[in-house]
Amino acid sequence: MHPWFLWAMTVTHIFWGLCVLYSPGVLFITALVPLTALSVPWSLVVIWSAALGGLLSLLYSTYSPWWLLGLISQQILMVLAGTSSLAAVAAGQYGDGVLHPRSFIGADQGWHVILVLFHALSMLAYVTRILSAHQSNVTTVSATKDPSCL
């Protein structure tokens, strides 16, 4: 996953957290509507966890479990945002209740869905690359310890 993408998602989550701190009504934007099922403090815990997870991902190497844990926390919040965006398009109504044509909401909220897909595919590509590298290291170590190879 590219660091610029991690920075963009981390900054987005920090921004959302700051906005909710300033005004809890921000939870009614379409991307954050699923968090309205929680109290404001718990919503902030979810948002700040995703932001912290993004920071952890930027600080640790891609071979660290902390890296993957950080990405998963971001992915959870992004899936919530993407799902609520799809629901808004299907209903023709934003999270705060404003009605618009589906095409309008789709054009406005479609980027959430695109980011979720990009993030998920990037995570899958990196995990596959890490597992492949790990497997090749295990194979190399096994071959050097095999007495028949000596």
Mean pLDDT of 9-38: 93
Helix (H) or strand (E) holding 28: none
Give the 3-state secondary structure of residue 99.
strand
pLDDT at 38: 92
Q: How do residues 42-73 score in pLDDT, each as one tens digit?
A: 999 999 999 998 888 888 766 677 777 778 88
Cα–Cα distances in Å, from 62 out to 45, 102, 122? 25, 39, 12
Cβ atoms of residues 30 and 98 within 8 Å: no
Using the 8-state DSSP alphabet, how is residue 38 labeled? S
- Determine, yes or no, domain membership for 149: no
- 85-92: long-range contacts at Cβ-Cβ below 8 A with a sequence spacing of 24 or more? 85/30, 85/31, 85/109, 85/110, 85/112, 85/113, 86/113, 88/30
- Determine, yes or no, domain membership for 140: no
Which residues have a Cβ under 8 Å from the Cβ of 56 and sit 6 or more positions away? Answer: 66, 67, 69, 70
How high does pLDDT run on average in the chain? 84
- Determine, yes or no, domain membership for 143: no
Instruction: Tell me the residue range of the domain where 67 lies.
Output: 3-135
Number of structural domains, the chain? 1
